[in-house]
Amino acid sequence: MNVLGWGLLLSVLLAGWAALDGAVQGGVPLVRALGGRDDARRRTVLATVAPFLLLGEVWLVAAAGVLLAAFGHVEATLWAAGYPFVVALLVAWVVRDAALWLRSRLPSPGWRRGWDAVGQAASLALPAAFGALAGVAWVRFSVVGPQADGGSGAAQALALGLPVVTAGLAVATARVHGGLVVAARAPEAIAREARRRVRRALVPAAALATLGALGALAVAALGTASALVAAVLLVAVAGVALAARFDLDRGVHRTGVVRVSGPLLAVVPVAATAAVVGPAVLALAAPAAVLHALTWPVLGAFAAVLAAQAVSWRVLVRPLGRRTAVFL
């Protein structure tokens, strides 16, 4: 597998994590809003996204392995340039999982509501940290360069603004995706309220995607032509978000636009980042001999992961019913 293949593999793994774990990131913050003080309703909301927790984290671990093995210089640069965001992402990930697994270990209402609040905060921090790290990558790899310590005034302005925009975009898109997953799997009384909250989140998501497109155009103006692809993608996704809002305004929630808007918005931060930083990241890949030696072991592991995920999907991801196991 050549360098481009490794770059595509890394992008696919991150996109898989964004699509699967993004349902959890967007669904958990809705637990208190949709469940109120009724623990049974809260657990129902959690049950709609719980299978994605088990499925999604495998993709992030696999992506980290590919990053370390094939793009070690990229990993080192991200650690140096975005250290606070990397730490925040890891802490939010651990705290979110701890909150979900611990919240039902005791029957105390205070215990459960406390862990629900912790889980909600961590579930917001996780996509925010990932999005901010993506913004750092945009600037570091496409504007100032991996070895640079500063840059022009425009580069410094982008370094301050882009992580904020991409962090907001990641949070907003996860909220839409998670809300649609809850609406698709929950009983109608909860699903109706989930759709209402998705409807409210679509316009901010479209606005942030448009701001991200403007940031991508600024990166392109500073010399990274591939950022134009990201700008087009972000504008298109903003259009999809507004079209989904139009359908939901009409009370129609089973259209193709609404159905695809969640996964599409969830993966757009990854896809846009791949378009912006792709050429610079590929240039920093490990030597060809190293990549060649890793190809078959990694592809074999990837095939095994896909098979396990397919089996787990058929077993776990079904509409909720009386016999659905609720383990959170």
Q: Would residue 328 count as lying in a domain? A: no
289 contacts: CB under 8 Å, gap ≥ 6: none
Give per-residue pLDDT as tens, 161-190.
Answer: 899 999 999 999 999 999 999 999 988 999
* Cβ–Cβ under 8 Å, residues 112 and 106: yes
* Residue 322 resides in a domain: no
- CA distances to 5, 91, 176, 181 from 263, rounded to whole Å, are 23, 25, 9, 9
Specify whether the backbone of 223 is left (phi greater than 0), alpha (psi in -120 to 50) or beta: left
Does the residue 16 lie in any domain? yes
Decide if pLDDT at 110 tops 80: yes
Tell which residue, 307, 230, 298, 304, has the closest CA to residue 71: 298
Q: Which residues of 29-56 are buried (b: 16+ CB within 10 A; e: fewer)?
A: bbbbebbeeebebbbbbbbbbbbbbebb
Task: Quote the pLDDT of residue 149.
Answer: 54
Q: Is residue 279 part of a domain?
A: yes
Which of 80-94, 236-250, 283-297 has the weakest average pLDDT?
Answer: 283-297
Tally of domains within the chain: 1
For residues 153 and 218, is the Cβ–Cβ distance under 8 A? no
Residue 262 placed within a domain: yes
Taking CA 19 as the corner, what is the angle to CA 44 and CA 99, rounded to the nearest 5 degrees?
45
Instruction: Provide the pLDDT confidence category of residue 97 given band limits of 50, 70 and 90.
Output: very high
Residue 230 lies in a domain: yes
Comparing C-alpha atoms, which of 320, 302, 324, 319 is closest to residue 58? 302
Range of the domain at 205: 3-314
Q: What is the pTM of this model?
A: 0.92
Determine the Cα–Cα distance for residues 315 and 326; give it in Å rounded to an integer: 13
Residue 145 φ/ψ region, left for φ over 0, alpha for ψ in the -120 to 50 degree band, beta for the rest: left
Report the candidate in 282, 285, 278, 272 with the shortest Cα–Cα distance to residue 135.
272
How far the first Cα of the chain sits from its last, in Å, is: 40
Give the distance from CA 188 to its chain's centroid.
26
Q: Report residue 299's pLDDT band, with 50, 70 and 90 as the boundaries.
A: confident
The full DSSP string for 135-184 is HHHHHIIIII-TT-S---HHHHHHHHHHHHHHHHHHHHHHHHHHHHHHHH
pLDDT in tens, 142-157: 876 665 555 566 667 7
In this prediction, residue 320 carries a pLDDT of 74
Largest CA distance in the chain: 60
CATH number at residue 231: 1.20.1630
pLDDT at residue 161, rounded to an integer: 87
Average pLDDT, the chain: 90
What confidence score (pLDDT) does residue 296 get?
87
SS3 label, residue 37: coil
pLDDT of residue 297: 86
The mean per-residue pLDDT over the stretch 193-208 comes to 95
In a domain, 99, yes or no: yes
Share of the chain above pLDDT 70, in %: 94
* Amino acid code (one letter) for 178: G
The number of CA neighbours under 13 Å toward the Cβ of 29 is: 24
Evaluate whether 85 touches 131 at the Cβ level (below 8 Å): no
Residue 197 within any structural domain of the chain: yes
Residue 264 has pLDDT above 70, yes or no: yes
